[in-house]
Chain A
């Protein structure tokens, strides 16, 4: 780090290196750290009418955080969001593991390229539109219901969007790549001979994955789970578009608070969500016994 400035000025001159380091510093402080600090500040202040802001009532308080424990509805949704995000993460892991393994160790040539293209192309479309597409599929008059009715499997349209199912499905679909690629990266680096050696020594397919592939992929699994969990926990589009009243998401509460101008409450809940995600990261690192450095690889 201490060599950064001399190296930069050698390559770009004094002015150039000042511009580079200056813009990085602006981005870091102005765009990331400062907004967060403002949010933290907001979160510890009470929600007051405009004329009272800065007045004697405007003191630091934990009130906004305590609401989470006193408001039963919010607390239930918070816990449900955690639980559902874990469910999304586990489902994504189960769905993506075979895909990643097939890509990394089995598929060759054209087949590999086709699967890769098939995975990536949907991501050229905005997340919102992808979720709208699921809405079209799952709606009462949607593609799936019409198909089932035409095939006489169902006599009345099924309400797929009741409960959590549609939201979870939409999220798993939306975040597949964030799980596939970390897994793929980790599996790619596994020596094919290790799989063959284990097989040769008598291991079944299941044993090969349990003893060789999964232990090798731990960092990849951790990264994939962290990404998917954070995206799911903070997701707004999927619950908004695919959800029913019973599938309210914590991020929707935050959104509503900001919408109703109660920034303080919204900021506090946003902080809670951030801390939750951080806690999840550390839990993952602990569970998979990996450190940040391995993950950065």
Chain B
């Protein structure tokens, strides 16, 4: 249906310093978002995600670098002249107008006739799966319906880029999950480039083609697909922020072709050394809870450590076991409930193992040993 061909967005060395502020909200941002891509900026609140969105939409101009949309420098071009449409966090629908008037607003500003606007509103309501509500007031709609109207209003001006500012955060969990699929489908159906910002990693991981993870200081830590981000975090921040992870204080002892052995409160652990840390350096060993299992025999290529069982939390399909080895770090292990109900007793000692290739040794800003 590709009726609104998306456009590339190039964010080149962009930094933004607000007037009267001591440090930049964002700095050194470099992303090339492809036409039609669903790209998410994921980061904790206050990391400058919204600033990026406002820069792309034209409410702000960057103090450093430049932003190109479809190869064209956007500096000095106001939000009403850019091929972008923004979906606000609170949606910002116009309460005094009907649904059709809301959706037709952008076209009205471009001088389209009433008939044209009504036709477009009908089509778009069809697209967002909400036909027949043209004459309702927006306040008479439910949260999810308002969501769809906001998206329809944004799409009505046939933007190349749709900018979404955490629009799902006000919805309840079930509706949110449903809308994730919906948004993804609208993105693929229309071919419009989507830029989505969120602090909710579940949202970012499920919807996005690619994700840019941002740290609190307004820089991008890593840009990657969801699975790559989860399995191959490049920095300690990403490993810690995306998904549940065990974070174990470690000091590098020896290094050898891409791997390193580190000393931890659980003893010596061997893992991948993607940052090429050198011996003596302080770092963290990151191990996902789901890659840890009770050690069997003949597992000499794995890390095997002896721990004490502190707690067992039964969650139905999964069981999370909390372990420690007398040191300050605890280790979470998450296993499938295979129905045998053979869980270790609390305070018993067990050997657990995890693959060396599943252990990543990472350091990074804000990740020194306190």
List chain A positions with a Cβ less than 8 A from chain B: 191, 193-194, 196-204, 207, 211-212, 215-216
Check A202–B59 contact: CB distance below 8 A. Answer: no
20 sample A-B contacts, Cβ–Cβ < 8 Å, listed by A number:
A191-B92, A193-B88, A193-B89, A193-B90, A193-B92, A196-B59, A196-B88, A197-B86, A197-B92, A200-B59, A201-B80, A201-B105, A201-B154, A202-B80, A202-B81, A202-B109, A203-B80, A203-B105, A207-B109, A211-B94
**Contact A201–B153 (Cβ < 8 Å):** yes
Residues of B within 8 A of A (CB): 57-59, 78-81, 84-86, 88-90, 92-94, 96, 105-106, 108-110, 153-154, 157
Cβ–Cβ contact B96 & A200, under 8 A: no
Asked if B90 and A191 sit within 8 Å, CB to CB, the answer is yes
Q: Is the CB of A200 within 8 A of B90?
A: no
Whole-angstrom CA separation of A196 from B80 in the bound complex: 9
In the bound complex, CA of A196 to CA of B93 (Å): 11
A111 to B321, CA, bound (A): 58
B328 to chain A, nearest CB (A): 46
Cβ-defined partner of B92 (8 Å) among A194, A207, A211? A194
Nearest CB in chain B: distance from A57 CB, A: 59
B84's partner among A191, A200, A212, A215 (CB-CB below 8 A) is A200
| Chain B, residue nearest A205 (CB) | B80
Look across to chain B and name the residue whose beta carbon is closest to the beta carbon of A218.
B96
With a cutoff of 8 Å between Cβ atoms, the chain A residues found around residue B81 in the complex are 202
Q: Which residues of B contact A215 (CB under 8 A)?
A: 96
Residue of B nearest to A198 (CB): B105
Report which of A193, A196, A202, A204 forms a contact with B106, defined as CB distance below 8 A. Answer: A202
Q: Is the CB of A199 within 8 A of B88?
A: no
A200 near B57 with CB under 8 A, answer yes
CA distance A241 to B108 in the complex (A): 50
Contact B157 A202 (CB under 8 A): yes
Among residues of A, the one whose C-beta sits closest to the C-beta of B96 is: A215
Known contacts A202-B110, A203-B109; is-contact A197 B80 (Cβ 8 Å): no
* A201 lies within 8 A of B85 (CB): yes
Most buried by A among B57, B58, B79, B90: B79
Given contacts A197-B88, A201-B157, contact A211 B80 (CB under 8 A): no
* A212 smallest CB distance to B (angstroms): 7
